[in-house]
Each structure stands twice: as structure tokens, then as C-alpha cells.
Amino acid sequence: MKKAVSLILLLIFTASLLTACSKEKTEETQNEYKPDFEIVNEVPQERTAGKMQAAEHFSGGDGSENNPYQISTPEELQLFSDVVNNHKFEDEINYAEAYYVLNNDIEFNSAADMENADKKAPAYAWTPIGQGSDNKEHEFKGHFDGNGKKITGLYVISAYHGMGDCRSFIGMFSTINKAEIKDLTISNSYFYAYNGIDSLAAVAGEAYCSKIENCHTIDTYCYATSAEVAQILGTAISTVYIKNCSAEGKVESSHSHEIAGITAGANDGTIEGCINNAEIINNYGTASGICGLLSDSAAQTDKNGNVISEGKTYVYNCKNNGSITATSAEAGGISASITAGNSEIEINKCENSGVVEGKNMVGGIAGSIYASKNSVGRKDGKTNQGAAAVKECLNTGNVNAVNGTAGGICGHVTTEYQAKIVVENSKNKDCVVSGATVGGIIGIHSVGINDDSGTISVTSCSNSGTFGEDPASLGGIFGTVAMTKGGRESGEGITIKIDGCVNDTDFNLNKVGYGTGGIIGCVNSDSISGDTINVTNCINNGNFTAVMNAGVLSLIGGICGASDTVGEETLAFKDCINNGGFDITLVEKEKEKTEEDEKNIYCYVGGLCGSGYDKTIIDNCSNNGKFNLVSGNEKKIRFDNSVSLKMNINDAVQNTGRQNAKN
């Protein structure tokens, strides 16, 4: 009996997923991506601007730390670009490594002339600093102090010039390396690349081992048809520090790259105290408010094997207020995608209040998190191991996955090779989270393809945000845990820990999907022995008001909706409490009912679990919720104080504690 029912449930769930995937694949096939741009070799004449005549010398200074070159006029700003981009190493002065200070607000082009920059060029085009005949030779390695001043009207527009072109990185600065840029505001500026570049941003296109601090954009537009795009920094590579920066304006792209408000990508560095107010729109790739792709790098050692860089990446005390849209990919309020394969990546004390919308894997803080290991070992002989964490974060912005998974904090998590993912002390509140699979904190977990181990820990998190209409799987904390075998046969297994979490949101469903639970919506798998799911000290305070189809399998549980698998893992609930009541309306199928339909029960409501199987353990858990059948045939629904549908006729669900009810 157990195997038969389990197989039926798994087939039904799998069929629903296959149907959704088939529909998604059909839609993707019908809307197969075609670049919405042509290879443009020349900028259209109406968008071509002239070059400003450079000053003959700076206002003062000798380029030293104590006496930096002084820039006071637009012509001197042009001189700054010229001397860095055109100098030769045999020159007496190395302008690329000098010190500079901005003395006045500078109007390179007027704000009025920039209003129609998308149609007609202003008077002057800007050439990014550090963009000479050879990018590596002319990287800016100096220090620029904006002195709290503002530059208005930078205009950069670029077409395709071939691979290896020196104009691959676009911004006020092109490539910076071991440089410092601080206390600068760029306003009413326009940065546009048709295609053929690597990255673009208002302040700098690319940075290595550099610091950008207290830099801001106002009413600035950054766009590329095929590149990583942001407002502050295009791509951050190797120990880049971005602090107290803000973005305002718009970032847009139409290709499969990362875009964001602050930086499109960060690898081994820190982003601290930054705010995005810009609108972010990607019509094909990912989109986020602070950093598009957060990744780590392998630890670096000296010749004696001592670790000199751990390769860690941190985002701390940052906030996104801008709207985020990724029409065909992941989206996140802080980061669209996190990939940890060498060391640690952490998002700490960050907040999102902007609307975040994407196709799949959408989160108020992070769209997706993947933790694994890197095949390249450290020079000191140790193994590179990834770990990702989201700590003390808050989401108050609406989150919507148009065709996939959504989570108030994280949309999707995956771990392999004993890697770790931690989500702790984070809150989702005052927002709407909607999608096919929805979780108040995490949308879905899925198993890596080829490995058998890892730990995902969700602790002390709470949800008080509301949910969109009729997801297939819905959990107050965790939408779906999919513990499938993949390429795994045996091993240590994957461990998921959910501890001390609270859901305060009501569930108002017009049509119940496969599984709805106060803490977990659905656990489904054909997993290996060693996989473990432990839910401890969790409380659901949300009430369930649902319309259930009397002919469609639906499961609701105060703690877990559908805990039905044919796998080998252990699912344990300990010291959990459900305080939510159940008001259920049953609706008969419209089509003609068969004799089998008349006999079968498809709707199950459990005070703790909608369903359970022979390795489900319920220890010292309580249900305080009342059951109420508002209308419908009482013979077509099963209410149970603990587990409504038990997958074994021998009462295999282990109830080792109290099971209270107030009916």
C-alpha cells in the first residue's frame, strides 16, 4: 500500500513539474532569444559628439601625494584623460600613477544638453581615463579625490571595434588597478555601448585591487547591448573595496550578462554601506540592486605557503530601493546570483525595499545561491571549499517570479561537496511573494547533479509577508525541498536544518496546489540514504483559508504540507507548534465523476503535516489549530490532528510526543 500510494503521489508531483517544464520549454522555444541589436561598427552621425580641446596644464600641483594635480575646469578634466591615455613610460612623469584632486564642480556638458542624449549627442564626448592604445599599459593606478565635487554631462557612446579593442571597459575611468577614487558625484551623464565591450559603469568599467569610496551617481543612464553594466563599477576583480557609494538613474541591458546598481560582479572583495536607488532592467540576463554576481576566488599564498588572501567576498550594510526586473533570468534585491566555490561569501545586515521581478529564482535578497568546491587546490595543499551566508537581512519589497521559484530572502539554494549555506536572523515582511513555488524565506532547494553532501541551515528567520495567488507549492519559511538523487548513488548525504523559524502570515488560497505548509510547503524526493531534514523549534501562526478541489490531490499541514517521498532520507519535526486554524471549502470537479472518484479522498489536512511517510518523525510537537469544513462533502476530506495521510498502513509515522488539538 505504502509503495503504491507513494508512487502515485510522486508521479502526480513529477507530472505537474514536467507539465510546467514542458510549458516553460515551449514558451522559451517560441521566444527563442534573438539579439535585439545589430553589429554596429560606427556610431550614428546624430549621436557623434566632438572632442573638447584640452587645457595646456593643470591649475596646480605636481602629482605627488602632498601636492596633487588640481583640476578646476572642463578643459583640465579633458587634459587628465589625455595625459593618462597617451603618456609613454619613458616620459619623466607617470601620469597613470599620480595624485589628482577636483577643485570645482565641472559641467563637461550641460544638464539641459543631456536630456535628449539618447537621440542627439551633446557637444562633447568623453574618453574614459585609462583607455589608451593598450589597456594594460594605460590602466589608471593613481589616486583621484573628487573632493565632494560634482561632474555633470559625461557622454560616452561606443560601437563594435573588434576583439581586444582598447575600449572594452567604459566609464569615467576605463580600467583601474591598485587605484583609489573617492568623494565624487557624477550627474546627468550618459554611458552607452552598442556591443563589443566587456563592462560599463559611470565611475569605472573594471577594477583590480582598488578602492572606490563615497562615489555617487545622479540622473545617470548606463546601457549596453552586450556587457556587464552598473552605475558605480562594471566588474570588480580581486580585492576591490567599494564603500558608501550610491546610484540613482537607470541601468539597462538586453543580453545574458549581469547588471546591477553598484557593481555587476564582485570577486574577492567588500561592498559596504552602499545604496541603490536606480531602476535596473535586464531584458535577457540577471538583474540586482547591489551586485549582480557575487563570487569568491582561490586563496592566495606566498612562496612559503602562507595564506595572504582568503579570497572572501562580503556585502555589508547595503540597501536597495530601486525596482529590479530580469525578464528572462534571476533577480535579487541585493544579489542576483551567489557562487561560492573557494572560500566564503557573506551578505550581512542588508535590506531590500524595491520591487524585484524575474523569470525564475527570484529573492528579496538573493536570487540564487550555489555552494560547492573548486577543482583547483590551494598552493598550500588545502582544498578550496565554498560557503555562503545571508545574515541579519530584511526584505520589505514585493518579490515575483513570473515562471518559477520565489523567496522573500532567497529564491533558490543548492549545495554540493560538503559545502555550506547559512541563512539566519533574517526577516521577510510587509511584501508580496509570488511564483509557482514560493517560500517566505527560501523558495526551493534542489540537489546538485553529481555529489552527495552539504549542509543548508535556516535559523531564527521569520516571515510576515503575504503570498501571491495559487502557487503549486507554498511554505511559510521554505517552499519546496527537492531531495532527488540526481547523479548520486550513496555518500554522506545532504542535511537541511530549519530551526527557530516563525511564520506569521495567513494562507489564503483560491486553489490549493500540491502542498502548503506553515513552515515547509513540500518535501519531494527519490533521495539517497543519509539525506536528512530536521525542523526544530518552529512555530506557525498563520491561518489557512483554502478552496480545495475534491478531485485533485492537495495537502495542507500546519508545519509541513506534503512530506511524501519514495526516498531514503529522514524527515524529523521536533518541538514545533502550529497555532493556525483551517477553514476549508471543497469544490467538486466539474467533469463527470467516475466510480473511482467517488471512492477516493484527494484532500488531506493535518494539524502538523498533510502527509508523512515511514521515516517521518514527529517529536514533542503540538497542533492548536481548529478544523472547519466551511462547505463541501465531508467524506471527501480527511482532517487529522497530526498527519492526515500516512504512507504506511502500519502507522509508520512516529509520534513520540504530545499531539494536542482544539477542534
Single pTM value for the model: 0.89
Q: Convert the pLDDT of each residue in 11-61 to its tens digit.
A: 334 334 333 333 333 333 334 444 444 556 667 788 889 999 999 999 999
Residue 375: pLDDT above 60? no
CA atoms within 13 A on the CB side of 259: 36
Mean pLDDT, all residues of the chain: 84
Q: Convert the pLDDT of each residue in 609-646 to its tens digit.
A: 998 876 788 999 999 999 999 999 888 899 999 998 88
pLDDT over 90 percentage in the chain = 57
Query: Please, are residues 129 and 87 in contact by the beta-carbon 8 Å criterion?
Result: no
Name, in order, each residue with C-beta under 8 angstroms of 284's C-beta and a sequence gap of 6 or more. 33, 253, 254, 255, 256, 327, 328, 329
Q: What does the pLDDT read at residue 384?
A: 61
Report which residue type is found at 65.
Answer: E
Neighbours of 444 (CB within 10 A): 31
- CA 363/CA 395 separation, integer angstroms: 9
Q: How many helices and strands, by DSSP H and E, does the chain display? A: 4, 71
Position 526 confidence tier, pLDDT thresholds 50, 70, 90: low
Residue 229: pLDDT above 90? yes
Mean pLDDT to the nearest integer, 82-90:
77
Position 491 confidence tier, pLDDT thresholds 50, 70, 90: low
Residue 5: pLDDT above 50? no
Report which residue type is found at 516.
Answer: T
Among 223-232, 259-268, 403-412, 596-605, the range scoring the smallest mean pLDDT is 596-605
Q: Residue 84 has which C-alpha cell?
A: 593618462
